[in-house]
Structure 1
Amino acid sequence: MINEKSEQIYKEAVEYIPGGVNSPVRAFKSVGLSPIFVDHAHGSKIYDVDGNEYIDYICSWGPLMLGHSPKELSEGIEEVIKKGTSYGVPTQIEVDMAKIIVEAYPAIDQVRMVNSGTEATMSALRVARGYTGRNKILKFEGCYHGHSDSLLVQSGSGTITYGVPTSPGVPDDVVKHTLVCKYNDLDAVREIFKEEGNEIAAVIVETISGNMGLVKGKQEFIELLREVCTEYGAVLIFDEVITGFRLSYNSSPAYFGVNPDMVCFGKIIGAGLPVGAYGGKKEIMSVVSPIGPVYQAGTLSGNPLAMYMGKKNLEILRDNPQIYTELERKAKKLEDGINTNLEKLDLDYTVTRAGSLVCLFFAKGPIENYDDAKKCDIEKFNKYFAQLLKRGILIGPSQYEAMFLSNAHTDEDIEKTIAANYEALKVAHNL
């Protein structure tokens, strides 16, 4: 595999962009490699500037449910561009988009469009604080909710603790109201609500975490969050930036049978264009400006290009439920194939899956929280990643990322991936 052009671009990039990339994981730093630079993509494949072809399981970190540049989405976008790319005043398609989201997510009554998942979570927490008149929020270790100050937090030495910043530039005073618990720890949740419940404005959680690998929330954990939030008057926020419309068309409420008070979206509702949204019950959303006192605004929110792509994407997913059936089948085939390879190679590793999300942990299971995920053999994973890349398989360049399948992935793609997985594992472990 030749990567000369990628290397040349990367050398230039580091002169003008911090680390040569506009989002840290793209640097491939965690796997000890230089990044590939993409030339184009189609269907399930990405092609880099050196002409190498890869079966892509990043899928722009989730939104490309239909694969790269699907004809059914791209048709008509030129007409939208000709009309105008941004207005700063309302359009009909924003209303249409909001209606589709609310109809697909019956737990909420209204939705406000923003420009990213980070903006969605940040805004939702501000609204929850404004609605409840409280300051404290509860998050869970290993869940990532964007890079706003109050959410760049990890727990300290105890199971339940006030958070400490995980990044320079985040003042202690900003995160002093952020509480952190271990994911899937029911006793910790009960204890912290017993101690702090009357001061907690909101609980924000990834029902299925996609940022410490793929770790599924236990059914009883998600149900307990609903129970304690109702009891103490806190706002339960589901961060569905990754899972929204990917787990199923009706997202986490359909998967778990539990409704939140608010929800945050991203990725899929823009079909790959920059977008985010937060929504909630009408009484909560009524505190949002211009009808309420909680201020939030955005010049590009509801951008007509993003709304056009997102609306078509959701309509296709809504009207073709077989897409989810096929994604489930293919993901199960990939999961089973990897498990068979692990058995053949006598490797005691763990595969997790939720719908079309799959993850191979280089550690013995079960993997239920961030502490479990941290037990992975990162050195072996890095060797495995490099071997997959050589064989034309692109996964997230980190042990702590999930694989995303799209409707464009074929059975042949899955079979090639399973074969490459076997060889990559074999080489990485000198078997």
Structure 2
Amino acid sequence: MSTETPGTKSNAQLFERAQRVIPGGVNSPVRAFRAVGGTPRFIARAHGPYIVDAEGRQYIDYIGSWGPMILGHGHPAVLEAVQKAAVDGFSFGAPTEREVELAEEILSLVPSMDQVRLVSSGTEAAMSALRLARGATGRSRFIKFEGCYHGHADALLVKAGSGLATFGYPTSAGVPAEVVQHTMVLEYNNVAQLEEAFHLHGDRLACVMIEPIAGNMNFVRASVPFMKRLRELCSQ
């Protein structure tokens, strides 16, 4: 972290102002800094691999806007492409050739995929994947793992119950218990618990959702033996 010329407003002032008009002062709970303490950093600008907050402090950007900024901020090729696109228009609410080109490019990079549906958020992607799995299998139950984040859909806002016979319970007000009764939450990297869950419920499971690297759990990796066994059980 380094310091540039300070801005005219502090992060604390902006957060106080934001809380008057935005619930919680942020538009996504993960931005609230509650898990780490302190005040959210309000970003004023960015360049390359760096972001600068309202107080002029410069940080290395390890988040990259949760993925899209993988080339850094203000990359010349990206700026050129955006400027060209702006001439024709950004959004139409109708199909475009560009989205077909993007889908083709994604499939060329991930040969195991047959088709791709472009959506607006990770939550929407997870919801669609879960619905697809349920529709294809005719089953309702699914497994997720403690510490993994898949968005804020009701069925995914669940913590572990008291055992494998007890399904999870809601972690947020406004999520009915009956919505999460089909969600089983297991311990990450626990092969024995995974095997027992499949033994008890395997013929009623639509899918398993997992982060191979759990971002909300300090980037804990799923072990290779755990992932291999999970793949075997799902294939069976």
Normalised to the residue count of structure 2, the TM-score between the two structures is 0.91
State the identity as a percent: 50
Q: Which runs of 5 or more residues in structure 1 are unaligned?
A: 232-431
Is 1:118 matched with 2:113?
no
Q: Which runs of 5 or more residues in structure 2 are unaligned?
A: none
Match for residue 75 of structure 2? 70
Name the amino acid aligned to 1:152.
Answer: L
Separation of aligned partners in 2, 1:106 and 1:81:
31
- Report if the CA contact (8 A) 2:164-2:197 is conserved: no
- Report if the CA contact (8 A) 1:155-1:164 is conserved: yes
Is 1:182 matched with 2:162?
no
Separation of aligned partners in 2, 1:161 and 1:107:
35
Separation of aligned partners in 1, 2:165 and 2:113:
30
Is 1:100 matched with 2:91?
no
Is 1:216 matched with 2:221?
yes
Deviation at 1:194, TM superposition (A): 1.0
Name the amino acid aligned to 1:102.
Answer: L
Match for residue 198 of structure 1? 203
Normalised to the residue count of structure 1, the TM-score between the two structures is 0.51
Name the amino acid aligned to 1:92.
Answer: E
Match for residue 49 of structure 2? 44
Name the amino acid aligned to 2:97.
Answer: Q
Match for residue 340 of structure 1? none
Out of 58, 76, 86, the position equivalent to 1:53 is 58
Separation of aligned partners in 2, 1:73 and 1:46:
17
Match for residue 25 of structure 1? 30
Match for residue 96 of structure 2? 91
Name the amino acid aligned to 1:42.
Answer: H
Out of 221, 227, 231, the position equivalent to 1:226 is 231
- Report if the CA contact (8 A) 1:159-1:182 is conserved: no
Deviation at 1:85, TM superposition (A): 2.0
Match for residue 168 of structure 1? 173
Q: Secondary structure at the match of 2:45?
A: strand
- Report if the CA contact (8 A) 1:164-1:172 is conserved: yes
Q: Secondary structure at the match of 1:228?
A: helix
Separation of aligned partners in 2, 1:226 and 1:220:
10
Q: Secondary structure at the match of 1:88?
A: coil
Name the amino acid aligned to 1:176.
Answer: Q
Change (3 A) 1:69 1:25: same
Change (3 A) 1:160 1:96: farther
Equivalences for 1:322-337 in 2 at 5 Å? none
Equivalences for 1:8-407 in 2 at 5 Å? 8-158=13-163, 161-231=166-236
Name the amino acid aligned to 2:139.
Answer: R
Separation of aligned partners in 1, 2:62 and 2:27:
20
Number of residue pairs the alignment of both structures matches:
231
Separation of aligned partners in 2, 1:88 and 1:62:
24
Deviations 1:197-247 (A, max 9, x none): 11101111111211111111111111111111111xxxxxxxxxxxxxxxx
Superposition RMSD on alpha carbons, in Å? 1.8
Q: Which has the higher contact order (CA 8 A, sep 6+)?
A: 1
Q: Secondary structure at the match of 1:205?
A: coil
Separation of aligned partners in 1, 2:18 and 2:55:
16
Change (3 A) 1:55 1:157: same
Q: Secondary structure at the match of 1:118?
A: helix
Separation of aligned partners in 1, 2:133 and 2:92:
29
Separation of aligned partners in 2, 1:11 and 1:157:
39
Name the amino acid aligned to 2:40.
Answer: P
